[in-house]
Amino acid sequence: MARSARRVIGAWVLLSAAVSGGCSHAQKPERSVYLIAEDAGGVGGAGGRDCDAEHVACFDRCWNSAPPLTSIKWGSGKHHEYCTEECRARYMDCIEDLERAAGKGGVSELRFSDLEGALDWLRSHRSELALGTVVIIAGVAFVVATGGSGALILAPLAL
Protein backbone atom coordinates (compact mmCIF):
# COMPACT_ATOMS: atom_id res chain seq x y z
CA MET A 1 0.00 0.00 0.00
CA ALA A 2 2.80 2.43 0.83
CA ARG A 3 4.40 1.69 -2.52
CA SER A 4 1.29 2.62 -4.53
CA ALA A 5 0.78 5.74 -2.40
CA ARG A 6 4.33 6.86 -3.25
CA ARG A 7 3.62 6.28 -6.95
CA VAL A 8 0.45 8.33 -6.77
CA ILE A 9 2.19 11.13 -4.88
CA GLY A 10 5.17 10.99 -7.26
CA ALA A 11 2.87 11.15 -10.28
CA TRP A 12 0.92 14.00 -8.71
CA VAL A 13 4.14 15.98 -8.01
CA LEU A 14 5.37 15.38 -11.55
CA LEU A 15 2.02 16.38 -13.08
CA SER A 16 1.70 19.53 -10.97
CA ALA A 17 5.28 20.56 -11.77
CA ALA A 18 4.67 20.09 -15.49
CA VAL A 19 1.40 22.05 -15.40
CA SER A 20 2.65 24.92 -13.24
CA GLY A 21 6.14 25.22 -14.71
CA GLY A 22 5.34 24.60 -18.33
CA CYS A 23 8.23 23.86 -20.65
CA SER A 24 11.62 24.77 -19.28
CA HIS A 25 13.36 25.28 -22.64
CA ALA A 26 13.45 28.62 -24.43
CA GLN A 27 11.43 29.14 -27.57
CA LYS A 28 13.41 29.52 -30.77
CA PRO A 29 13.25 33.00 -32.30
CA GLU A 30 11.54 33.49 -35.64
CA ARG A 31 13.75 33.74 -38.71
CA SER A 32 13.05 37.48 -39.04
CA VAL A 33 15.22 40.55 -39.31
CA TYR A 34 15.66 42.36 -35.99
CA LEU A 35 16.72 45.99 -35.61
CA ILE A 36 19.77 46.52 -33.42
CA ALA A 37 20.16 50.27 -34.09
CA GLU A 38 18.92 52.92 -36.52
CA ASP A 39 22.46 53.39 -37.88
CA ALA A 40 25.62 51.29 -37.99
CA GLY A 41 27.85 54.04 -36.63
CA GLY A 42 30.02 53.02 -33.72
CA VAL A 43 30.27 49.40 -34.78
CA GLY A 44 33.74 48.15 -33.97
CA GLY A 45 35.95 45.95 -36.05
CA ALA A 46 36.11 48.11 -39.16
CA GLY A 47 35.66 51.53 -37.64
CA GLY A 48 31.96 51.56 -38.41
CA ARG A 49 32.33 51.50 -42.20
CA ASP A 50 29.14 51.11 -44.17
CA CYS A 51 30.15 49.61 -47.51
CA ASP A 52 26.67 50.05 -49.00
CA ALA A 53 26.62 53.78 -48.21
CA GLU A 54 30.18 54.18 -49.49
CA HIS A 55 29.19 52.44 -52.73
CA VAL A 56 26.22 54.75 -53.30
CA ALA A 57 28.35 57.83 -52.56
CA CYS A 58 31.08 56.59 -54.91
CA PHE A 59 28.64 56.11 -57.77
CA ASP A 60 27.00 59.51 -57.20
CA ARG A 61 30.41 61.20 -57.14
CA CYS A 62 31.56 59.37 -60.29
CA TRP A 63 28.33 59.92 -62.23
CA ASN A 64 28.25 63.63 -61.41
CA SER A 65 31.79 64.28 -62.61
CA ALA A 66 33.46 64.05 -65.99
CA PRO A 67 35.03 60.66 -66.74
CA PRO A 68 38.84 60.65 -66.61
CA LEU A 69 39.06 59.09 -70.07
CA THR A 70 38.35 61.45 -72.98
CA SER A 71 36.93 58.54 -74.99
CA ILE A 72 33.98 58.32 -72.55
CA LYS A 73 31.25 60.92 -72.97
CA TRP A 74 29.69 62.32 -69.81
CA GLY A 75 26.30 60.69 -69.11
CA SER A 76 26.73 57.94 -71.74
CA GLY A 77 26.32 54.21 -71.29
CA LYS A 78 30.11 53.89 -71.20
CA HIS A 79 30.20 56.48 -68.40
CA HIS A 80 27.69 54.36 -66.45
CA GLU A 81 29.78 51.22 -67.07
CA TYR A 82 32.94 53.01 -65.94
CA CYS A 83 31.33 54.20 -62.69
CA THR A 84 29.81 50.78 -62.03
CA GLU A 85 33.16 49.01 -62.44
CA GLU A 86 35.14 51.61 -60.49
CA CYS A 87 32.74 51.66 -57.54
CA ARG A 88 32.31 47.89 -57.53
CA ALA A 89 36.07 47.53 -57.05
CA ARG A 90 35.99 50.00 -54.14
CA TYR A 91 32.98 48.19 -52.64
CA MET A 92 34.82 44.86 -52.76
CA ASP A 93 37.85 46.49 -51.09
CA CYS A 94 35.57 47.74 -48.32
CA ILE A 95 34.06 44.26 -47.84
CA GLU A 96 37.54 42.73 -47.69
CA ASP A 97 38.57 45.33 -45.08
CA LEU A 98 35.53 44.41 -42.99
CA GLU A 99 36.33 40.71 -43.26
CA ARG A 100 39.97 41.30 -42.27
CA ALA A 101 38.90 43.45 -39.33
CA ALA A 102 36.43 40.81 -38.19
CA GLY A 103 39.24 38.26 -38.20
CA LYS A 104 41.56 40.43 -36.07
CA GLY A 105 40.35 39.95 -32.54
CA GLY A 106 36.78 40.86 -33.37
CA VAL A 107 34.06 38.62 -32.08
CA SER A 108 33.22 36.16 -34.85
CA GLU A 109 30.45 34.19 -33.10
CA LEU A 110 28.17 34.91 -30.16
CA ARG A 111 25.70 32.57 -28.43
CA PHE A 112 22.57 33.51 -26.51
CA SER A 113 19.69 31.53 -25.08
CA ASP A 114 16.98 34.11 -25.84
CA LEU A 115 16.29 36.89 -28.33
CA GLU A 116 15.74 39.74 -25.86
CA GLY A 117 19.02 39.03 -24.06
CA ALA A 118 20.85 38.92 -27.40
CA LEU A 119 19.40 42.23 -28.63
CA ASP A 120 20.13 43.93 -25.28
CA TRP A 121 23.75 42.77 -25.39
CA LEU A 122 24.22 43.70 -29.05
CA ARG A 123 22.78 47.19 -28.48
CA SER A 124 25.06 47.89 -25.53
CA HIS A 125 28.23 46.38 -27.05
CA ARG A 126 28.20 47.85 -30.57
CA SER A 127 31.86 48.85 -30.40
CA GLU A 128 32.81 45.20 -29.85
CA LEU A 129 30.85 43.98 -32.89
CA ALA A 130 32.01 43.59 -36.44
CA LEU A 131 29.73 43.33 -39.43
CA GLY A 132 29.44 39.67 -40.35
CA THR A 133 29.49 38.44 -36.75
CA VAL A 134 27.45 35.25 -36.44
CA VAL A 135 24.95 35.32 -33.56
CA ILE A 136 23.32 32.06 -32.48
CA ILE A 137 20.13 32.48 -30.49
CA ALA A 138 18.55 29.31 -29.08
CA GLY A 139 20.14 27.32 -31.90
CA VAL A 140 19.06 29.71 -34.70
CA ALA A 141 21.87 31.46 -36.62
CA PHE A 142 21.80 35.17 -37.46
CA VAL A 143 24.41 37.59 -38.80
CA VAL A 144 25.11 41.24 -37.89
CA ALA A 145 24.66 43.33 -41.04
CA THR A 146 23.53 46.71 -42.32
CA GLY A 147 20.16 47.24 -43.92
CA GLY A 148 19.50 49.28 -47.04
CA SER A 149 18.97 52.44 -44.98
CA GLY A 150 22.22 51.94 -43.07
CA ALA A 151 20.52 50.47 -40.00
CA LEU A 152 22.37 47.86 -37.97
CA ILE A 153 20.35 44.65 -38.15
CA LEU A 154 20.39 41.05 -37.07
CA ALA A 155 19.44 39.02 -40.15
CA PRO A 156 18.76 35.27 -40.42
CA LEU A 157 21.75 33.37 -41.70
CA ALA A 158 20.74 31.12 -44.60
CA LEU A 159 22.85 28.01 -44.76
Q: Are strands 134-137 and 140-146 parallel, antiparallel or unpaired?
A: antiparallel
pLDDT of residue 101: 65
118 with 137: CB under 8 angstroms?
Answer: yes
pLDDT of residue 10: 44
Of the candidates 152, 143, 95, which has an alpha carbon nearest to the alpha carbon of residue 123? 152
Q: Can you list the residues of the chain whose pLDDT is less than 50?
A: 1, 4-25, 46-47
For 12: left if phi > 0, alpha if psi spans -120 to 50, otherwise beta; the answer is alpha
Confidence (pTM): 0.46
pLDDT of residue 109: 76
pLDDT of residue 103: 60
Tally the C-alpha atoms within 13 A of residue 5's C-alpha that lie toward its C-beta.
2
pLDDT of residue 85: 93
Of the candidates 97, 95, 117, 99, which has an alpha carbon nearest to the alpha carbon of residue 108? 99
